[in-house]
Amino acid sequence: MVEPEPEGVEPEFADDADELDAYDTFEMYRVICPDCAQPIALLADEEILPEHALCASPWNPFGLTVCAGTGRTAAEARPADESFAPQEQDTALLLTLPQGLDWRTQPFSHVGGQGSRPIRVPAMRRPAAA
C-alpha cells in the first residue's frame, strides 16, 4: 500500500539536508543607499539594492514610497562600516529588528500608555452675569 504524500510537499525534496535552521549563517555587508542615506544589509552575492521604503515625513508613516535607490548597483553605494568585506551573521540576527527599534513603540502601533489616549480638558467656567 502506498501512503499519500501531504499536499505541497515534493517527495524528492522532503528530506533535504540543505534546509535553513537557526544556526545557519549568511555573509552580509551594509551599504548606505545613495538616494535616501539609509543603511541597507545585503547578502554577499547581492549586486543590486533591494526594494526599500522611503518615509517622507515621520508624522505620516503611512505615506511610504519606494526609494529611488531601489535597483541601483551595490557598487554605487558606499560602505556603512569601516570594512567593505562581508561579515558572517546568524539567520536570527538577519531577521531581527535593530536594537533601538521596538515595533511596539512606533507611531503607527496601537500601544497603550501616555499619549495614546485622548486628554480630558476641564470645562471652562462661564463668566458671571453682570
* CA proximity to 98, closest of 117, 80, 116, 115: 80
pTM of the complete model: 0.49
Of residues 14 and 19, the one with the higher pLDDT is 19
Residues 17-29 have a mean pLDDT of 65
pLDDT in tens, 52-64: 888 877 777 778 8
Spans of all domains in the chain: 22-95
Q: Give the pLDDT score at 62.
A: 77
Please name the amino acid found at residue 58. Answer: P
Record the cell numbers describing residue 17, joined without a space. Answer: 539536508
Compute the mean pLDDT over every residue in the chain, rounded to the nearest whole number: 71
Check the CA dihedral 79-83-86-89 and report its sign. Answer: negative
Beta bridge partners of 65: 54
